[in-house]
Chains A and B, each alone.
Chain A
Amino acid sequence: MKALVWCAPYKVAVEEVPDPKILNRRDAIIRITSTCICGSDLHLYDGFIPFMKPGDILGHEPMGIVEELGPDVDGSRIAVGDRVVVPFPIACGNCFFCRREMYSCCDNTNPNAALAEKLFGFPTAGIFGYSALTGGFAGAQAQYLRVPFADVNLQKMSDEFTDHQLVMLADIFPTGYMAAEQANIQPDDTVAVWGCGPVGQFTIRSAMLLGAGRVVAIDDGKSVPERLQMAADAGAITIDMNDEYVYDRLLDLTSGIGPDVCIDAVGMEAHGYRAIEHAYDKIKTNLFMETDRPAALRQAIECCRKGGTLSIPGVYGGVADKIPLGAMMNKALTIKTGQTHVHKYVPRLMEHMRKGDIDPSFVVTHRLPLSEAVHGYEIFRRKVDGCIKIVLDPAA
């Protein structure tokens, strides 16, 4: 089959690789019909996540058709021919965490648990195509994918929606939704969202679905004006971090009290807008003295109102410097974060889709054949051609 493989930082290639096989008794093989490039794939592309091996297949946002099932898959829940979305974290369904719907914290799906234990203290769930640290599973930017614990992980879909609507359920729609939901938004709340990438876009719309008083979207209007425009289209107040001081503007908007909920949908590769701060993080990361550049997180902590909630869907992978813990502690902030417990949210998001509250395909700007995935990474990374979200077609 064809697959997109990671070879070195800034170097990916579409290659011919062997087809996946059933390896465990509850595995499934799916034929992928749509698969996305995620903003977090760029962290791998840029070499920000350690433990990548040359030849690793990337991708963790697929959907497709079940082709083959292992002998122990519960046939009452999934069958060959079903149209399915595959959540990016792999869950076992039976451990302490799965039983509490914390699927991305599953105890039993990371084959490299000992490695993850060393870095994070505890192993978290396996993730498709996301380095040895999350299990070293072959990724989904390919024509076929092997899915473990198929009866727990495969989410059966009906034919009433298109691929572009459904494939967003594999990661970014639930991720944006969880970012807003875990912040416990109240009707009179001002919600500030840093980052208007695909996850930020879903966060903005989810905050509105959950009844936020108003939503403020923050991004760089010089390099990605189309993203701020998309946020404005959803009804958000936008702040271009080049034009205004974010802190001052947020205080103006909230009469000096600050946003009740601050959401960092940027993650480890923030650019920041203070040259000195960015240079500091750039140097430290290049010297391997920190792994993450937390400029957006710092600003979110600074801006959040006293007793407010900080929610972090943005991906961080290691350690970061100069986090304003004093502000966080003295202002009595609540911190909510985590990789998304996708399985938990799929049913309720389907419900929103059925009611017509949201059409998740709004975020898609490009559909490319898998063979052009390398070009896709390039335009997504450089944010050119109005690129916000790319869906790859493995059959084309």
Chain B
Amino acid sequence: MTMSQQMTDRSGGYTGYQDLDDSDAQDSWLGEGINVGGTERAVSVAAGAALALLGLSRGSGLGLLTAAAGSALVYRGMKGHCPAYSAMGVDTAHGTEEHYQQQARRTEQRVAKRGIHVEEAFLINKPQQELYDFWRNFENLPRIMTHLESVQVLEDGRSRWRAKAPRIAGGSVEWEAKTTRDEPGQVIAWRSLPGSDIDTTGEIRFQKALGDRGTDVHVFMRYIPPAGRIGHWMATLVGQDPERLIRDDLRNFKRIMEAGEVITTEGQPHGACTGRRRRK
């Protein structure tokens, strides 16, 4: 990350996660097993509290029962889990847009808090718009990202990505991403959607470089690798360090944009040093 130390203009900074609430409190009561929808939970808490107060004010046996039922409703609302729904197989949370947003938000929080952060920068001798246009057509990206197998552009800003992964992580990962920011010639930001093999958020910025030097390209990414931190560590050991991959990919981007292609030596002649002359 030597290049990033050279960045002169960081005033724009990285804005991708600013809207995230980083508190632990949310995570602790947003546990697994939610099966009560958000609105219903609010009603449940309010009604439960009212019932409990009513029951306690009576003081009788029936009053205590009422209070207990009220408390259960409050708990159900707070926790988002209803044992009765669970027994009946009812789920008013999943499948709703609300639940989906909630999941996405949690994913983003997890990535922001525990994800691995990668930041790389390259000076590319081409105008911002040209670089943006190439990148914005996500289907171009497998040309520069050697580990990427395919990108399929779907509807409403979503896309499906498929990449080779270290063998420890199953050999391949797939995720769906949504474009969260798109300013032509300037910024593209994305995040993975719930249900992906990999949780990631990222952003690429194109800023005009000083003078006639072209464009400063900065990539910021956070992700939770498929096998977690141990997977990341193992990958680093076997030379598949994702940070290095991302730097190599960006370098390929620079090479395609500046020189038209990525230069290779694969397939060139090589001697055998057998000590004897061999015929072809």
Interface positions of A from 148 to 183, Cβ below 8 Å from B: 148-149
User: Is B248 close to A, CB under 8 A?
Assistant: yes
Chain A proximity of B195: nearest CB distance (Å): 34
| Interface range on chain A (Cβ under 8 Å from partner) | 35 or more
A-side contacts of B268, CB under 8 Å: 20-21, 23, 137-138, 146
B-side contacts of A1, CB under 8 Å: 269
In the complex, the answer to whether A15 meets B272 with C-beta atoms within 8 Å is yes
Complex-state Cα separation, A17 to B279, whole angstroms: 8
A-side contacts of B259, CB under 8 Å: 92-95, 108-109, 149
In the complex, the answer to whether A126 meets B263 with C-beta atoms within 8 Å is yes
In the complex, the answer to whether B264 meets A3 with C-beta atoms within 8 Å is no
| In-complex Cβ contact of A26 among B248, B261, B265, B274 (8 A) | B261
Question: Which chain B residue shows the least CB distance to A94?
Answer: B258
Which of A51-59, A233-241, A294-302, A317-325 faces chain B?
A51-59
Per-residue 0/1 for A82-121: is the Cβ within 8 Å of any B Cβ (1 yes, 0 no)? Answer: 0000000010111110010000000111010110010001
User: Is A277 close to B, CB under 8 A?
Assistant: no
Complex-state Cα separation, A12 to B258, whole angstroms: 37
Interface size of B by Cβ–Cβ distance < 8 Å? 32
Per-residue 0/1 for B265-280: is the Cβ within 8 Å of any A Cβ (1 yes, 0 no)? Answer: 1111111111101111
Chain B proximity of A205: nearest CB distance (Å): 35
Complex-state Cα separation, A278 to B279, whole angstroms: 45
User: Is B260 close to A, CB under 8 A?
Assistant: yes
A-side contacts of B266, CB under 8 Å: 23
In the complex, the answer to whether A13 meets B271 with C-beta atoms within 8 Å is yes
Complex-state Cα separation, A3 to B268, whole angstroms: 13
User: Is B58 close to A, CB under 8 A?
Assistant: no
In the complex, the answer to whether A94 meets B125 with C-beta atoms within 8 Å is yes
In the complex, the answer to whether A121 meets B2 with C-beta atoms within 8 Å is yes
User: Is A376 close to B, CB under 8 A?
Assistant: no
Complex-state Cα separation, A217 to B113, whole angstroms: 65
B-side contacts of A121, CB under 8 Å: 2
User: Is A248 close to B, CB under 8 A?
Assistant: no
Interface positions of B from 233 to 261, Cβ below 8 Å from A: 244, 247-248, 251, 254-255, 258-261
In the complex, the answer to whether A16 meets B278 with C-beta atoms within 8 Å is yes
Given contacts A15-B278, A16-B278, A114-B248, contact A26 B260 (CB under 8 A): yes
In the complex, the answer to whether B264 meets A23 with C-beta atoms within 8 Å is yes
Given contacts A15-B277, A16-B277, A18-B280, contact A55 B263 (CB under 8 A): no
In the complex, the answer to whether B273 meets A111 with C-beta atoms within 8 Å is no
**Most A-side CB within 10 Å, residue of B213, B258, B264, B269:** B269
| In-complex Cβ contact of B258 among A3, A107, A135 (8 A) | A107
A-side contacts of B269, CB under 8 Å: 1, 3, 17-20, 57, 138, 142
If over half of A's interface residues share one DSSP class (helix, strand or loop), that class is named, otherwise mixed; here it is loop
A-side contacts of B187, CB under 8 Å: none
Chain A proximity of B248: nearest CB distance (Å): 6
Complex-state Cα separation, A311 to B274, whole angstroms: 42
B-side contacts of A21, CB under 8 Å: 267-268
Interface positions of A from 333 to 374, Cβ below 8 Å from B: none
Given contacts A15-B278, A17-B270, A108-B255, contact A136 B265 (CB under 8 A): yes
Chain B proximity of A89: nearest CB distance (Å): 13
User: Is A72 close to B, CB under 8 A?
Assistant: yes
In the complex, the answer to whether B261 meets A114 with C-beta atoms within 8 Å is no
**Most B-side CB within 10 Å, residue of A8, A23, A117, A136:** A23
Chain B proximity of A143: nearest CB distance (Å): 10
Given contacts A23-B264, A24-B263, A137-B265, contact A92 B258 (CB under 8 A): yes
A-side contacts of B273, CB under 8 Å: 5, 7-8, 13, 15, 54-55
B-side contacts of A249, CB under 8 Å: none
User: Is B141 close to A, CB under 8 A?
Assistant: no
| In-complex Cβ contact of B265 among A96, A99, A111 (8 A) | A111
Given contacts A19-B269, A55-B273, contact A111 B263 (CB under 8 A): yes
Sample of 27 A–B contacts (CB below 8 Å): A3-B269, A7-B273, A15-B271, A16-B278, A18-B269, A20-B268, A23-B267, A24-B261, A25-B260, A26-B260, A26-B261, A55-B270, A56-B270, A56-B271, A72-B260, A92-B255, A92-B259, A93-B259, A96-B123, A107-B254, A114-B244, A114-B248, A117-B2, A121-B2, A142-B269, A146-B268, A148-B263
9 A-B pairs closest in CB distance? A5-B271, A92-B259, A7-B273, A55-B271, A17-B269, A138-B268, A15-B271, A108-B259, A18-B269
A: residues with CB less than 8 A from B are 1, 3, 5, 7-8, 13-21, 23-26, 54-57, 72, 90, 92-96, 99, 107-109, 111, 113-114, 117, 121, 126, 135-138, 142, 146, 148-149
